[in-house]
Amino acid sequence: MFELNEKIRDLTPYDPITGTYTVRLDANESFLSLPDDVRQELGQIASSLDYRRYPDPLAKDVCAAFGAYYGVDPACVAGGNGSDELISILMNAFLQPGDAVITALPDFSMYGFYAHLAGGREVSVQKDDSLRFPADAVIETAKRENARMIVFSNPCNPTGQGLPKNDVRRLLQAVPETLVVLDEAYMDFWDESMLPEATKYDNLLILRTCSKAFGGAAVRLGFVVGPERLVRAVRAVKSPYNLNSFTQAAGTVLLSRRDAEKAAIETIKASTHALHEALCRLAEAYPVLEKVYDTCCNFVLIRTGAADTLHRGLLQKGIAVRRFPGYLRITAGSEEENQAVTAALQELLAADTEKEGQA
Ligand SMILES: *Cc1c(COP(=O)(O)O)cnc(C)c1O
């Protein structure tokens, strides 16, 4: 019998919640649908593609559109089938078996997953109750472990916390021989991006995505930005046709609508603010919601001993949020969706308090 090897023996396929939920606030997607004129443009693209031809392996047009949107040199940009694929490519490219990769937890779970598959060794630092990025502990651990890579999201999913540019610069300078992978998936909602300095450091790669602020998760489009020497290495390692022709053309459209994009981001930020306020009010009334964290992203994290019960109760009411041990993460939705989730939480919390009163 063919035996699975040790590194994949215990893996299970990624299991996003299935089933139909009327309110989906579990995956940090944009709650804004693409406008009709954009959909029409995408339809035209789909109907006029030359399906016989392989896509452009360098994805020149969409990298140029990215460069124009963010003011970076397209020669320093490479595209991926979602930034998720890029994380996998970076791990495979820059790690050798046994190399140490430093993470600070909680953070995006795919870092550890892909590091492991690439034969790397994840060494993680635990964040304290503030959930802020522990820059000093990370530097110290990277030095001790002779780390090849430090990877983290900024601002962070799932904590919502952001690390200011000055601290990122300090980190980069403290570990000149370690590659720092800075995942800025949510940076469109904050303004401490290192993109303007992406090529100033020879040990920095920045990841961006069209899946969150741009409302294009279905398209699967992410980018890596950094000094040409590193980006060339990424291009050399990735599979040549990782970005299909539709994705390249659709991404070019999404990235050319600057004003509409900026307006959408403001709308999502306002929704996040409203959700945060509503959850803080709930937490005042129900101390089982121990802490509602501030956020630089399009979601709000709550620390609560009742995470499991509340998660289950919400699902029963047709509302999906993300649960972690001891935490709930709720993506900002439309006004109606935010109201639905806060009302449902209130109901669950009130019922629970009543039960306690009777006991
Ligand atoms: C959602 C998310 C991604 C994945 O983005 P894709 O481009 O859709 O693959 C990457 N990093 C973080 C931190 C995320 O939350």
List pLDDT tens digits, range 181-196: 999 999 999 999 999 9
Distance 350 CA to ligand 1 centre (A): 35
User: What are the φ and ψ backbone dihedral angles of 76, each rounded to 5 degrees?
Assistant: -105, 20
pLDDT of residue 327: 98
Band of pLDDT at residue 92, cut at 50, 70 and 90: very high
Distance 259 CA to ligand 1 centre (A): 23
Average pLDDT of the chain to the nearest whole number? 96
CA 86 to ligand 1: nearest atom: 9
Q: State which amino acid sits at residue 248.
A: Q
- Asked if residue 16 has pLDDT above 80, the reply is no
- Asked if residue 89 has pLDDT above 90, the reply is yes
Write the residue with the smallest CA distance to atom 6 of ligand 1.
82
pLDDT digits (tens, 9 = 90+) for 130-153: 999 999 999 999 999 999 999 999
Is 159's C-beta closer than 6 angstroms to any atom of ligand 1? no
How far CA 296 is from CA of 32, 133, 154, 187, 201, in Å, comes to 18, 13, 9, 8, 25
pLDDT of residue 14: 81
Is 184's C-beta closer than 6 angstroms to any atom of ligand 1? no
Is 84's C-beta closer than 6 angstroms to any atom of ligand 1? yes
- Asked if residue 15 has pLDDT above 90, the reply is no
Q: Which domains does the chain have, with CATH numbers?
A: 7-28+259-352 (3.90.1150.10), 36-256 (3.40.640.10)
CA 87 to ligand 1: nearest atom: 10
- Asked if residue 358 has pLDDT above 70, the reply is no
Band of pLDDT at residue 359, cut at 50, 70 and 90: low
- Asked if residue 19 has pLDDT above 80, the reply is no
* CB neighbours of residue 71 within 10 Å: 8
Q: Are 268 and 314 in contact (CB under 8 A)?
A: no
- Asked if residue 357 has pLDDT above 90, the reply is no
Average pLDDT over residues 65-85: 98
- Asked if residue 6 has pLDDT above 70, the reply is yes
- Asked if residue 25 has pLDDT above 60, the reply is yes
CA 108 to ligand 1: nearest atom: 13
Residues 6+ apart with CB under 8 A from 3: none
Q: Which of 212, 220, 224 to mutate to test the pocket of ligand 1 (most atoms within 8 A of CB)?
A: 212
Q: Which of 209, 242, 295, 298 to mutate to test the pocket of ligand 1 (most atoms within 8 A of CB)?
A: 209
